[in-house]
Every structure is written in C-alpha cells, then in structure tokens.
C-alpha cells in the first residue's frame, strides 16, 4: 500500500497568510490596521518561541503587533489591569495571553477578562457557548481546531455526513471545540479521554482521527482505520540519541512511522497543525478588525 498523503500545514498556512495580507491591505485603505496584542508572563522558553513566531507572522501580515512581557512574579491585579487597558485600546483588535501562566495566577480569571470581541483565542465562555450552539459565524473559533478543520475539509470536503470522527482529548482548547466543528459539518463524533474503555478499538472506527492528548507516540499504527484522515495535534519534545549524541526531537501523539502506511492522509509533526494554528490566529484578528469597520 502506498504511503499516506502528507497534509502540509506549512504550505496551507502560507496560502492563508497571503490572503490575510491582501485583505489587511484593503482594510488599511479605510484607515484600519488589525492590531494584535500578545501578553507573555515569565520566561518559559517554549512560550517565548511561540510568541516570537506569532509576532513575526503578524508583522508579515501587515498588522500592528504589540508584545507585553510581564514579570513572572506579577500580581493577579497587575495582569488584569493590563488586560483592561488592552480591552479599552481601540487600536487593538485581538488580545492573546500566552499560556501557561505561573501557578499563582488564575488562568480562568485571566482568559475570561479578555473582551469576547477581542478574544481571538476563542477561550471566553461567550465564544465557547456560541460555538457549542452552532453559531460559527458569530464567534471566534479556537485557532488549533479551526486550522484542523480546514485541513480535514481539504481532504474530505465541507460535508462530512456519514463519516465517523474520533477525537482523543477533551480539552476546551482543542477536543471540545473540535467536536463542535465536526458536528456542524455533519460528522458522527466521539470524544475519548483517559477513562475511555478500549480506546484503541474506538479509534479504529474513525474515518477522521484527531489526536490531541499530549502524549508522544501514544496512537499506534494498529489503532488507525485503513484510509482514515489523521490529524496529529500533539507537539511533544523527546530525547533521542543520534550517532551517540543526545538530541531533542519534536514528535506528535501519533506513531507517525506506523500510521503513514495505513492512513489515507496524515499531518506531520512538525509542519502540520502548528503553522495553521498561527495562521488562524491572524485570521481571527483580521476578522475582529473587519467587524470594527462594519460597525462604523
């Protein structure tokens, strides 16, 4: 059997970014420049990399890109005051608080303090509620599942009627919103988690398998239905030895070397879901700015 089609998230993201650039230039002619503010608390190395990538992409799109680096020992009140200031700033259309934040801060309180109209991460309960209710046009969809959905649609079309989708992971960032999107496209959806009985057997039913659990290489090749579309959301750093030298490597939640011979299409790690997540953040920010023009 031939190997699976590799779903090139980097190429898809590049195409989407070009569209965003064009729309941003058109919006700028009306005196509106999309503004994205990223708040990062502390000096987590992985978060720093993500924030740099977001800032670079925002600037490439022609956005106003603002970064607020906050000391890891900042108080809850200081962080909330910064968010209030950004909520009131007419030049800022999207606010993103880079997670995780230090344990002494209440992540839920912080994410819920962002105005729903500027919540380009899609984490505010108002936006989550709209998505769950099926109001996709009136909400910001969380960036990772939004990007995953575009990848699935490219392989299978907009209508997923008659297809079984299995999601491994029930987070509010990926698993639950992913289920809402798949349901809206008429798929039959199962959400699995750590307490699911006989998880491999459930996974084998999936025409669409989304792995978003954060455990490297957890999903084995024999979990996958032949011909399935596999979306690997996991980004895990593992230690490997190459020619006697210790190195680190990024890997997904799916055992790629096995799955690639069974699936019809699969996202690689890196180069799959990651670039699309950042592109969808830009798309949400542009949409927020466009709403500003519509309200004038």
42-87 pLDDT, tens digit each: 987 778 888 999 999 999 999 999 999 999 999 999 999 999 999 9
Residue 92 lies in a domain: yes
Average pLDDT over residues 106-134: 97
**Whole-number Å distance between alpha carbons of 122 and 132:** 12
For residues 178 and 110, state if they share a domain.
Answer: no
Active site residue 121: yes
Using pLDDT thresholds of 50, 70 and 90, give the confidence band for residue 1.
Answer: very low
Helices (H) and strands (E) in the chain, counts: 10, 11
Residue 176 lies in a domain: yes
Q: What is the CATH number of the domain that holds 197?
A: 3.40.50.720
**What pTM was estimated for this model as a whole?**
0.94
Active site residue 21: no
Active site residue 98: yes
Average pLDDT over residues 144-163: 98
How are strands ordered across the β-sheet holding 208-211?
5-6, 265-266, 229-232, 208-211, 164-168, 188-192
Domain end point (choices 78, 100, 116): 116
Residue 264 lies in a domain: yes
How are strands ordered across the β-sheet holding 94-97?
64-70, 35-41, 94-97
Which value, to the nearest 10 degrees, does the dihedral of the CA atoms of residues 135, 140, 142, 145 take? 50
Catalytic residue among 8, 23, 119, 121: 121
Residue 14 lies in a domain: no
Catalytic residue among 8, 23, 54, 207: 54
For residues 158 and 237, state if they share a domain.
Answer: yes
Q: Tokens 């999903």 correspond to what residue?
A: 219
Catalytic residue among 23, 98, 176, 253: 98
Residue 282 lies in a domain: no
Positive or negative torsion for Cα 182, 55, 90, 75: positive
Average pLDDT over residues 118-122: 98
**Whole-number Å distance between alpha carbons of 202 and 190:** 8
pLDDT at position 253 over 80: yes
**Whole-number Å distance between alpha carbons of 83 and 104:** 17
Residue 179 lies in a domain: yes
For residues 262 and 162, state if they share a domain.
Answer: yes
Q: Whole domain around residue 77: which residue ranges?
A: 31-116
Can you read off the two tokens belonging to residue 57?
């992409």
């Amino acid at each position: 059997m031939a190997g699976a089609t590799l779903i090139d998230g980097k190429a898809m993201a590049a195409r989407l970014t070009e569209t965003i650039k064009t729309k941003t230039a058109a919006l700028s002619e009306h005196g509106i420049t999309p503004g994205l503010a990223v708040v990062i608390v502390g000096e987590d190395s992985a978060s720093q990399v993500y924030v740099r990538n977001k800032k670079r992409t925002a600037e490439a799109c022609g956005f106003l890109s603002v970064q607020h680096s906050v000391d890891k020992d900042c108080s809850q009140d200081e962080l909330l005051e910064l968010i209030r200031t950004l909520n009131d700033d007419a030049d800022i259309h999207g606010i993103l608080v880079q997670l995780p934040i230090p344990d002494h801060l209440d992540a839920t309180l912080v994410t819920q303090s962002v105005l729903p109209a500027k919540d380009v991460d899609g984490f505010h309960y108002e936006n989550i509620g709209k998505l769950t209710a099926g109001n996709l046009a009136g909400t910001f969809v969380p960036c990772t599942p939004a990007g995953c959905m575009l990848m699935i649609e490219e392989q299978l079309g907009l209508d997923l009627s008659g297809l079984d989708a299995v999601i491994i992971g029930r987070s509010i960032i990926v698993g639950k919103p992913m289920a809402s999107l798949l349901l809206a496209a008429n798929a039959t959806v199962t959400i699995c988690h750590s307490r699911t009985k006989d998880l491999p057997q459930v996974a084998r039913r999936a025409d669409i398998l989304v792995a978003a659990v954060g455990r490297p290489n957890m999903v084995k090749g024999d979990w996958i239905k032949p011909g399935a579309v596999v979306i690997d959301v996991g980004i895990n750093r593992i230690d490997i030895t190459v020619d006697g030298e210790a190195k680190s490597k990024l890997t997904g939640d799916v055992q790629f070397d096995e799955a690639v011979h069974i699936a019809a299409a699969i996202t690689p790690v890196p180069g799959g879901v990651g670039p699309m997540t950042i592109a969808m953040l830009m798309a949400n920010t542009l949409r927020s700015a466009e709403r500003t023009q519509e309200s004038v």
